Structure formats: C-alpha cells, structure tokens
Chains A and B, each alone.
Chain A
Amino acid sequence: MTRQTRPSLVFPLRALGRAALLVAVAWLLSVPPQRLVTIGPPQAVQTRNPKMGVHTRLTDEVEEWKIQRTLEMVREMGAPWVVEYFPWAYSEPRPGRYDWRRADLIVDHALAQGLRVIARIDFVPEWARPPETTFRHLDPEHYGDYARFVAAFAAHFAGRVDHIIIWNEPNLSFEWGYRLPDPAAYTELLRQSYLAIKAVAPEVQVLAAGLAPTMAPPGSEWGMDDLLYLEAMYAAGAGPYFDGLAMHAYGFTFPHDDPPARDQVNYRRVELLREIMVAHGDADKPAYITEGGWNDHPRWAKAVRPYQRLLYTIGAYEWALHEWDWCEAVAFWAFRYPWDQRTYQDYYAFVTPDFVPKPLYTDLANYAQGRPYEYLEEGP
C-alpha cells in the first residue's frame, strides 16, 4: 500500500507564527515604555524660613521615582530652593545636538514640588577640550561653545529656571582643569555667557560662580584666595556681567556666628565677599549661597560632631534670615547622593541614598515647621 502525502501546513504556519512574533517584539521595542511616575499635582513648600535651600545631586540619579522622592523630601523639610548641577556634556554630547530630556525631568519634578531651581552648569564635553584633560578644562577658543550652550539652556528653561551659575569654583586649579586659576580668563567666560543668555532670555539671572573659600597663598598651584580672586574679577571688568553672586559658605570647625576675618574660613566669610561687592558698586545685586554647611565625618580635621552640625546648620539658616538682607537663598551641600560615596562627602548629606532621614533632616523639618526638636535639646 502506498501512502499518499499531502503538502504539509506545519511549515508555513510555523513561519507565519515566527514572523508574527518578530513583529510583536519589534513593536514592543519601538514603543516607549509607559511612565511609571507621574509629576503629580503642584505642591507648595511650607516653611518659616523662605531662604532655606539645599544643593541636590540628581545628576547621576537613574530612577525617576528617586528624583521625585528626593525633591518631595526637600519640600517636606521646608526648603523652597534647590541648586542642581546640569552637566554641559550630558545635554550637548555632540556640538549643537541638545538633549534636554534628563534636565527636563529634574526641573519638572522640582517645579511640581513648589521648588525654585538654581542651575549650575559646567562639565566640558570631550569634543570641546583636548584629549587627556579633565572635564573642567576649557580653553578660550571654546568659551563661545559654552556661552552658546548656557544660552540654549536659558532659552529652553525660560520661565522654569530663573538663575544660572556660570561655572563652579574657578579659583581652584582642579576646577579649572588643573591649571592656575585665572580671574581674567574666567571673567571673559562670564562676559560671553552673560551676553549670550541675555540675548535669548533677558529675564534669567546670571550668577557669577561660587568661589571656593580658601586662603591659598599667592602663587599656589592649587588655588587662589577667594577674596583676591573676586577683587581680580572686578579688576578684569566682571562687574557688568553678572546679576548676582553665588557664594560658598562652609563653616568647617567654626560655629555659624563665628565672626568673619580674612585669615579665617568660616560660614560668615561670605560677608567679606559682600563687602567687596559693595565696594565695587554692586550693593543692589543679591547673593545666593549655593554651597555650604558643615560636615560630620568622624576623622576629617575640618569636620564637627553630628550634634554640632545640627546646631550650626539651624543657626546658619536663622542667621541668613535675620542678618543678611542681601542674601536670597542658602542652599547647603548636599541633600542626598544617589549612592554612598564612601568618602567624607557622605557626611554632608541630609538623608541617606535610600531616603532614611538623618537627625539633621528631622530637626531641620521641625525647625521649618515650628515643631519641637526631636534631637536638639534647645535651638541655637
């Protein structure tokens, strides 16, 4: 008996199934994933001190819910101001190709929490610096690139970000690409940036960089005295090219009310910077403390004990509120890191990477809301 064979349907059906599966996978891959986090309704900060702020470190935070939770906790603590770092290299990876998605995410969440954002911009992309240099190295021929970028940033975030800081601590050599600090060169960078921003977003406030408080001796290869640097900036003609001055106010081992002196680096050293501003006719310009505070590392010689840190920090916010009418905001370093740094930097944080509040956070929230302290026996 011979068997009759019919054309099999198995093969074409399998092929069809595989093709359908491929199409489905391709479709799934092409559709952007649904957002798991929503911005939420607008919130408002409740606080008795409207100058309170923190420097957040969301630059390298990967997960959106963590960005949101960080900013929620800032609001819940009672701080209306945040300073955030927006690396140039992240948003302009190739010349003229802007990618604002990440910066948008941070700014939108901050605004939803009722926070005001001060943007600090540096971090030179590889295409704008020579090989084998650090990401803080910017040569004068690329000042125009930086200025074009900060202007694009200002235009994109017009109405959302009102303050932009031009660079960071240029009086330190490592913040200046491991070259000698150069106030005249920085002034030129500031001038080009100011003009570029004002051309596209005249309402944005351009802040000159916060200087690292340091008493580095003249000629030091590591840094330049911040007071001398500011004087040199004015001498180079910086005056017309900033609307406000960012300041860094670290207390190190001294209490918040320790008086300022040229040979002392403490919280109130910023009063000396202010004197220089006033002497140069800038009394009407505000200042913004965009870094500062105390560290409670157990061994760093410039740190204090956690209890002292709590006492001084509350005292510092109070000091700015009552004593410094020229100071708009006090944003202390650094609210939270995305992961443990495992260095002294962790001891500047207000909450841990997994959002556990330190006693500092708890009692600052109590201070801002006018509630009794949990850890402090009495206020400063």
Chain B
Amino acid sequence: MRPTRRFLVLGGLAAAAALALLLGLLWATRQRTTREAWGAIQARGVMRVGMDASYPPFAWVDEAGSFHGLDVALARALAMRWGVEVALVNVHFDGLYDALYTERVDLLLSALPYDRMLTRDVLYSQPYFAAGQVLLVPQGDAITASPGDLRGGVVAVEMGATAHQLARTLDRDRGLAWQVRAFRELDEAARAVAQGEAHALLCDRVSALALLATYPLRLAGEPLTDEPFVIAVRPDSPRLLREVNAALVEWRADGTLERLTHAWLAP
C-alpha cells in the first residue's frame, strides 16, 4: 500500500513535534544543569557560604571582621577539598533560606537545624553535629546513663531554659519523682552538681561540652532529644549535596569531624 500525501504530511508534522519536544527537554535539562550549584562553584572558583555569624562557637565575627567557629572551619575545609576559594556571606538567620533560593549563596552552613517543614524546598545533608539536651553527672558517678537512673534525685537546670521545660516534662511523663532545681545561671547549676548539691545537670549539648572543660563532670548517655545540625543546598543541586555528604562521611570516618568539633566546642 502506498502512503497517501495526507499520511506523509501528518507523519512529518508528528516527527517535527517529537523533535521539538526532544529539543525542549534537552534545553530544560541544560537549564537545570547550569543551575546546579556544584558546576557554578567550579566555574567561579569560589564557594559562597551563607551563615549567620552570630552563633558562637559555630560562627562569629571578631572586631577585625574575621570569621571563626566550627561552621567556618567546615566551610574552609570543604573549599580546600574542592580546590576553590570560600566566600563567607553573613546573613541574618531569618534571611538565610531566601538567600539560598535567590542564589545569593551556594549552600547554608550555619548551625542549621534540620527542618522537616522545608524538605520540599531544600536538600539537607547528613548531620554534622547532634545538638540535643544531655545529662551531665559528677565524674565520680559511674552508674547514671539515663534519666531513669536518677529516680528521686535532684536535677539542676537553668531557669527558663529548654532543659527546664524538658526536666519537668520527663519528671511528669515518666514518674521520676525528680526535684528540679532551677538556677539563674547555667554555671551555678553546674557548680551545684560538681559540689554534690544536685545529682545531675540537664542542658543542651553545646553548653555541656563547654562546661566539661571547667567542671569535673561527664556526659551520661546519649542526648535525650534529637536536634541534628545539617547543611542545606537548593533542590536543583543534587551533585553539590553528594559532594557535601561524601566529605562528611569521610571526615566522620577519619576523625576530622570529631577533631574540629572538639577544637571549637570543647577547647
């Protein structure tokens, strides 16, 4: 059967439409590729890191304008690993995500808590720090490893802190019969535990690591709450996320992450 003229015309139109569709898809893919922050960083030779540098010991700026802190060290280590320069962009916390969306920065590294409400808007890395609430007990206490081991005990907290609320909630929900003693200053609470006036101190892990350098206390068990700090990139930058995660995995395995954390959080 010979193809009719109409058949040929329709076939030609269909082929043209398919070609146009294919070209459109290629163009869209290229657009996505060019927006991938990894490629932009490599092309620019500079990685722009968004952070609010007012959160010591994670990030702060000294009077000379120099950046310091764990997040700053991690940003510099990433840049060195990738062979690029680093530009630290100091943005107020409220503007961090918008700075990322509008491509003012390539990634956010700013003691950033994992936010389950934003997982459609950004890609989060693996955690690089766990900032939950922890128990500190005297070094001489070799037994306490969980709240249940302190049943009927005196637990010191800073008045009004998150730990204060958590202590009351744990006491109520688990029937621990704790006597919660609230101090105006965290140092007062730590001193009370070190001097035997309270059995344990409940506080956040960042504060705890700093207190360990001053008082004869030890961490008792794992954090009681889950507050991971993560790095965020735009959803169109999966390659950058893979590179960030690869670095974190390697640094966790070879001890780099622990060394940096200890250097900045528990000097």
Contact = CB atoms under 8 A, between A and B. Distances in A.
Interface string A154-180: 000000000000000000111000100
Contact of A352 (B57, B113, B165, B184): B165
Contacts of A359: 159-160, 164, 182
Contacts of A174: 91-92, 94-95, 98-99
Nearest to A136: B98
A301 B55 contact: yes
A306 B60 CA distance: 22
B104 interface: yes
A342 B160 contact: no
B95 A358 contact: no
Q: Is the interface of B mostly helix, strand, loop or mixed?
A: mixed
B207 A298 contact: yes
B56 to A, nearest CB: 6
A300 B184 CA distance: 18
B159 A375 contact: yes
Interface in A91-132: none
B136 to A, nearest CB: 14
Contacts of B169: 356
Interface string A350-369: 00100010111000000000
A73 to B, nearest CB: 16
Interface in B136-151: none
Given A299-B55, A343-B113, A178 B161 contact: no
A362 to B, nearest CB: 10
A134 B101 contact: yes
B54 A300 contact: yes
A35 B104 CA distance: 46
Contact of B93 (A344, A358, A375): A344
A173 B98 CA distance: 10
B158 interface: yes
A62 to B, nearest CB: 12
B102 A358 contact: no
Contacts of B102: 133-134, 178
B165 A298 contact: no
A135 B173 CA distance: 41
A44 B247 CA distance: 59
Interface string A169-198: 000111000100000000000000000000
Contacts of B85: none
Contact of B160 (A173, A222, A310): A310
A143 B114 CA distance: 36
Contacts of A341: 115
Interface residues of B, number: 38
A243 interface: no
A142 interface: no
A320 to B, nearest CB: 22
A178 B104 contact: yes
Contacts of A339: 117
Nearest to B203: A298
Interface string B80-97: 000000000001111100
B206 interface: yes
Contacts of B206: 298-299
B58 A299 contact: yes
B185 interface: yes
B36 interface: no
Contacts of B99: 174, 178
B160 A178 contact: no
B54 A360 contact: no
A226 interface: no
A301 B56 contact: yes
Interface in B90-146: 91-95, 98-99, 101-102, 104, 111, 113-115, 117
B184 A222 contact: no
B165 A356 contact: yes
A301 B182 CA distance: 23
Interface string B51-80: 000111110100000000000000000000
A172 B54 contact: no
A305 interface: yes
Given A298-B207, A305-B185, A307-B159, A342 B114 contact: yes
Contacts of A296: 160-161
A298 B114 CA distance: 18
Given A309-B160, A310-B160, A359-B160, A298 B204 contact: yes
B243 interface: no
A360 B162 CA distance: 12
A339 B55 CA distance: 23
B93 A343 contact: yes
B227 interface: yes
A302 interface: yes
Interface in A323-354: 339, 341-344, 346, 352
Contact of A342 (B115, B159, B203, B207): B115
A346 to B, nearest CB: 8
A288 to B, nearest CB: 21
A339 B91 CA distance: 24
B86 to A, nearest CB: 19
Interface string B162-174: 1011000100000
B191 to A, nearest CB: 16
10 contacts: A174-B99, A178-B104, A298-B161, A305-B158, A306-B158, A306-B159, A342-B114, A342-B115, A343-B113, A343-B115
Given A173-B95, A298-B204, A306-B164, 5 more contacts: A178-B104, A339-B117, A343-B93, A343-B115, A352-B165
5 nearest CB pairs, A to B = A306-B160, A174-B95, A342-B113, A301-B54, A359-B160
